[in-house]
């Protein structure tokens, strides 16, 4: 049985850190910078970074339609921080996202860069809390029919629905591997 190949959208943001986590776990991975790259991966991680810039680059490289189609066809996708914004269908400032997930997100909800922080987040299904870094992080103000897997200060910070997983924090920057492992083992490996 061949393990799924997980792509990391590598247009902007902390894609290298996600690739490093996947590599350290022994998972097959590759950078995704075009529709051709997207065609050869089984799953995708959309990293943190600057969502406005990321979406502009998605459009510049004519990847929007292909990304939407792959998500709608069931490709597993994990979005962290800006990646959660890119997936959501409603953003506080009205930004035109991929709109593939019934989520309402408020960007920079914890404040500016100076208000960034780290926290230990209890996650449903994991024995020990995960370390997360919140950098100009969004808040999920409406998770729709998604399953909330973790909250922080009363707000949903890790949610899932079918083939989708989103975190408003960065586990990859904290050296945390368990959420990536959970993503690959529970969402990417279904049906193998």
Which own/partner contact pairs does 142-150 have at CB distance under 8 Å and 24+ positions apart?
Answer: 142/90, 142/103, 142/104, 143/103, 144/101, 144/102, 144/103, 144/104, 145/102, 146/101, 146/102, 146/103, 149/123, 149/124, 149/125, 150/121, 150/122, 150/123, 150/124
Could you say which of 17, 18, 106, 172 is catalytic?
A: 172
pLDDT one-digit tens code per residue, 49-79: 999 999 999 999 999 999 999 999 999 999 9
pLDDT one-digit tens code per residue, 83-137: 999 999 999 887 899 999 999 998 877 766 667 889 999 999 899 999 999 988 8
Angstrom distances, CA of residue 21 to CA of 25, 28, 131, 153: 6, 11, 14, 27
**What is the domain extent for residue 101?**
5-188
What pLDDT was estimated at residue 7? Answer: 97
Q: Please give the residue that has the higher pLDDT: either 166 or 191.
A: 166
What pLDDT was estimated at residue 192? Answer: 41
pLDDT one-digit tens code per residue, 18-29: 999 999 999 999
Could you say which of 18, 81, 180, 188 is catalytic?
A: 81
CATH code of residue 103: 3.40.50.880
Average pLDDT, the chain: 92
172 catalytic? Reply is yes
102 catalytic? Reply is no
What pLDDT was estimated at residue 11? Answer: 96
Q: How confident is the model at residue 190 (pLDDT cuts 50, 70, 90)?
A: low
Q: How many domains does the chain have?
A: 1
Could you say which of 170, 176, 180, 188 is catalytic?
A: 170
170 catalytic? Reply is yes
Q: How confident is the model at residue 4 (pLDDT cuts 50, 70, 90)?
A: confident
């Amino acid at each position: 049985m061949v393990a799924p190949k997980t792509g990391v959208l590598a247009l902007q943001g902390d894609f290298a850190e996600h690739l490093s986590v996947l590599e350290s776990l022994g998972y097959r991975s590759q950078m995704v910078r075009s529709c051709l790259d997207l065609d050869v991966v089984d799953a995708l991680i959309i990293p943190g970074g600057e969502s406005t810039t990321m979406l502009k680059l998605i459009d510049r490289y004519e990847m929007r339609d292909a990304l939407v189609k792959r998500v709608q066809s069931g490709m597993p996708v994990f979005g962290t921080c800006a990646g959660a914004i890119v997936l959501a269908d409603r953003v506080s400032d009205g930004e035109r996202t991929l709109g593939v997930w019934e989520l309402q997100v408020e960007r920079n909800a914890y404040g500016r860069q100076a208000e960034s922080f780290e926290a230990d987040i209890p996650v449903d299904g994991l024995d020990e809390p995960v370390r997360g870094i919140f950098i100009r992080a969004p808040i999920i103000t409406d998770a729709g029919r998604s399953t909330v897997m973790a909250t922080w200060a009363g707000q949903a910070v890790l949610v899932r629905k079918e083939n989708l997983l989103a975190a408003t924090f960065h586990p990859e920057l904290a050296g945390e591997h368990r959420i990536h492992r959970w993503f690959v083992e529970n969402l990417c490996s279904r049906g193998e």
